[in-house]
Structure 1
Amino acid sequence: MSESDEHGPASDRPSALEVFLAWPLAAASHIAQTNIRLFETFLPPANPRPSRQLIFPWASPNTISLELGTMSLRNFSTRNDGRATLICAPYALHGATIADFATGHSVVEKLGQCGLSRLFLTEWRSATADMRYFTIDNYLADLNVAVDELVPPVDLIGLCQGGWLALVYAARFPNKVRRLVLVGAPVDIAAAKSSLSNFAADVPLGSFHELVRLGKGIVHGQQMLGLWGISHGPNEADATLQAGEAIEPPEREALVERFRQWHAETVDLPGSFFLQVVEWLFKDNRIAEGRFVALGQTVDLSKLTAPIYLLAGSDDEVVAVDQLFAAARLVGTRGEHVVKMIETCGHLSLFLGTEVLGRAWPDVAGFLLRDFNEPQAIAERKDAPAVGGRSIRKSIG
């Protein structure tokens, strides 16, 4: 029995926030069920002004090491020596601050506390009109420039939609990635069902093209929020952030308000990139089937032999556990160098939840820091006990 079977299949009833953070497919599904011409009338108009720079504040001190066409390379390092760890952030509805949301709710902060001193993050740019024809290759090419800037091989961490991009990059340039961590990332869409993959399967491809046409080549984040009409109560924020009852009311209110501000700040996506992701990843399942072409070459996951860590949420409605864990059988990594961890949480809590950050992420840091030549590196328990009333399952191989 797989880990996901043991904890039950991904729910068919996602929270609106989790679906929307991952990708604006829900809006496209709604379009597919309604006369598309009516949406031309009722959709809020696209903002004609150039996309402004995102203003949601970072929780951790950082500088910009490199400016590229698709991204700013954020530097959170506390030292200038040592191996670089690069976090590949999602490029979806919200910005890269998902990796550094707030004190106590930050992947960047936790990794730094655990001894990773050279930390970098891809901050993908909100798409402007001149970026509307950017494709997946544009993002892979700039990711490659960033890795070269950091001096490969690097340790690469891919979050959510940044996870499949990190995996494709690592398989395309296997000598440039020493270790790979994928968190809540879709890899094999056929391995299990999720809300996100169901949306993509059910909506005709033509509807996605129409969505891009309506945005004049851009998928507008603010339009998606306005169309879906999501409301967010404090309970949803509490569950996601796992703040607990010990937090004082004023601090809790400030945290919930920060969560609302973060959610309200969206990024726009290039239409060409968006359509490729929908078709290549979610409809054709090209990564898992060995048909994904990256920078002129078909990606062969079996050539990727780096140690790999897979972190999933048992209650993740956006990415099913088996959609991520399928990576273990697709890559060429030795079984004893593959770590699979399940946390009992939803999608966003994998990156923002206090409990997950306190348990799983120190283990991720240990995976990146340990010497795999030492016997204890692979002498892990197959099952970890429940912690704080929440079950965890970790396996090697």
Structure 2
Amino acid sequence: MTAAGAHSSPENPTASYIEESVEWLQAAAAPWSPSPSRCLVADFGLCQLYRYPALVDTDTSTSTIAARNVLFIVYAMVNTASILDLRDKLSIIQRLQWLGLTIYLMEWVPPQSSQSNIGLAEYLEQSLHRCVEKACQDSAADRLNLMGVCQGGVFSLCYAAMYPERVRSLVPVVTPINFHTENDTLSRWVRYVPLDELMVSGMNIPGQMLAQVFIMLKPMSLSVKKYLDIAKRSRQGTEDAEIAETFMAMEQWIHNTPDQPAACFKDFVEKFYQQNALYHSSLHLAGRAVDLRQPNIPTLNIYAKNDHLVPPESSKALQELIPAHCYHSLEIPTGHIGMFVSQKSLNYVPQAIADFIRQV
């Protein structure tokens, strides 16, 4: 008989397989590295411009790159553009390269405290406009096909309205247009953020604070559930190295949320989320009217059917603003991030983009 109160604790199987799965995942963690084919074209301080050359030569009759084979990508300031080139088999950029497109990617540089007072209009002038001009020079193209992702899609649409002579076609992807749709949880939150209380002289908006906001939109599935799911896979013996490497690459991307330039962030929230100025055609930047009804630029609007960050209704509102003969759309049965990492999307979206810009 054992001593009073003494007993052997039964093994906790749940804790055991979670510990095992943690070891499995930690072993798969590796720093992100971009495609070896990319090279730096220009560094403008606020942003950097990279070129990813086509991996298939489609311009055999000339030494220059045909405009139909050049795609300029504008990503959002939130998170990083590495999601577009996450891993060898999960890279929408690589898929586009293999379709014969030369890609120019504008990457935002995390802001310094000295840049906290730069507003949205100045940011776009000093970054996006300069990168487009440089990409035109580098590719010998007069106009570019612009693909914008989420907030970057908003930037690309604004740019096209301000500089239509530089834009050949537009491909906004998971891009919000009407920021006041009924099922837009993020918008309902952001509309009532006391922006002045967030603004501290010489300080930017912490990226980790924004990361937590995005997680709280789907707290269970974006936190507890995904860890239990991956632990379950480990327990079932499906410890495939590729599964673990992809999971950890996604985790690193999710939590690598750079700080946001304070004045630019404030301008964006006020003009788009609070005033809904883009949708109401009342937006002005750098003294220019930003009216999407004016430029006649062929547009392929790609949105995700199950998007919890940018509801489909928000993206589809673009059809109300762009001339009918210029508007084309494509709905993909995936979520916001699935647009760039799900195999179904990767097997279809890059080809649709390539076909569209070559038919313009």
Separation in structure 2 between the aligned mates of residue 61 and residue 354 of structure 1, nearest angstrom: 22
Q: Which residue of 1 aligns with 2:331?
A: 342
SS in 2 for 1:315: coil
Q: Corresponding residue for 2:185?
A: 195
Task: Tell me what 2:32 maps to.
Answer: 56
- Within a 5 Å distance, the mapping from 1:140-159 to structure 2 comes to 140-141=124-125, 142-151=127-136, 152-159=142-149
Query: Are residues 1:107 and 2:92 paired?
Result: yes
Find the counterpart in structure 2 of residue 82 from structure 1: 66
Q: Who is 2:301 aligned against?
A: 310
- For the pair 1:210 / 2:197, whether they are aligned, the reply is yes
More moved, 62-71 vs 215-224: 215-224
Whole-Å separation in 1 of the counterparts to 2:312 and 2:157:
16
1:360 is the counterpart of 2:349: yes
> 1:72 is matched with which residue?
48
State the Cα RMSD in Å. Answer: 2.6
Aligned counterparts of 2:223 and 2:269: Cα–Cα separation in 1: 27
Residue 95 in 1 paired to residue 84 in 2? no
Matching residue within 242, 262, 265 for 2:256: 265
| Paired AA for residue 76 in structure 1 | Y
* Matching residue of 1:160: 150
Q: CA, structure 1 residues 75+237, in 2 after alignment: closer, same or farther (shift >3 Å)?
A: farther
Q: Which amino acid aligns with 1:64?
A: L
In structure 2, distance between residues paired with 1:103 and 1:289: 41
Q: For 1:248 and 1:309, how far apart are their aligned partners in 2?
A: 39
Aligned residue identity for 1:346: G
Using the alignment, how far apart are the partners of 2:210 and 2:294 within structure 1?
A: 38
Q: Structure 2 counterpart of 1:338, which letter?
A: Y
Gap change, CA 1:233 and 1:104, over 3 Å in 2: farther
The letter for the 2-side match of 1:208 is L
Could you say if the C-alpha distance between residues 99 and 278 of structure 1 is closer, same or farther in structure 2, counting changes exceeding 3 Å?
same
Moved more, 316-325 or 153-162: 316-325
Residue-by-residue CA offset, 1:237-272 (whole Å, 9 max, x unaligned): 999xxxxx9x97111111111212222222111110
CA offset at residue 302 of structure 1? 1.4
Matches within 5 A, 1:1-397: 56-59=32-35, 61-78=37-54, 81-83=65-67, 84-92=70-78, 94-116=79-101, 118-141=102-125, 142-151=127-136, 152-201=142-191, 203-204=192-193, 207-213=194-200, 216-225=202-211, 232=223, 235=226, 249-332=240-323, 334-335=324-325, 337-370=326-359, 372=360
Residue identity in the other structure for 2:240:
P
Do the aligned partners of 2:179 and 2:273 also contact (CA within 8 Å) in 1? Answer: yes
Inter-CA distance 236–165: structure 2 relative to 1 (3 Å threshold): farther
**Which residue number corresponds to residue 384 of structure 1?**
none
Aligned letter for 2:99? C
Max Rg structure = 2
The superposition leaves residues 63-86 of structure 1 with CA deviations (integer Å, 9 ceiling, x where unpaired) of: 110111320001112376222310
Alignment partners' CA distance in 2, 1:133 and 1:321: 33
Tell me the TM-score normalized by structure 1. 0.70
Q: Aligned partners of 1:287 and 1:236: how far apart in 2?
A: 38
| Separation in 1, partners of 2:88, 2:224 | 21
Shift of the 238–62 alpha-carbon distance from structure 1 to 2, 3 Å rule, reads farther
What is the letter of the counterpart of residue 250 of structure 1? A
Aligned-partner SS, 1:189: coil
Gaps of 5+ in 2: 1-30, 58-63, 137-141, 231-235
Separation in structure 2 between the aligned mates of residue 238 and residue 184 of structure 1, nearest angstrom: 26
Task: State the shift of 1:149 in Å.
Answer: 1.4
SS at match of 1:190: coil
Using the TM superposition, give the Cα deviation of residue 192 of structure 1 relative to its aligned residue in structure 2, in angstroms.
4.3
State the AA in 2 paired with 1:68: F
The one-letter amino acid paired with 1:342 is E
How many residues were matched structurally?
Answer: 303
Deviation at 1:91, TM superposition (A): 0.8
Q: In 1, Cα distance between the equivalents of 2:209 and 2:305?
A: 31
Q: Secondary structure at the match of 2:279?
A: helix
Give the Cα–Cα distance (whole angstroms) in 1 for the partners of residues 145 and 206 of structure 2.
32
Counterpart code for 1:63:
C
User: Does the 8 Å CA contact 1:234/1:256 hold for their aligned counterparts?
Assistant: no
Superposition TM-score, scaled by structure 2 size: 0.77
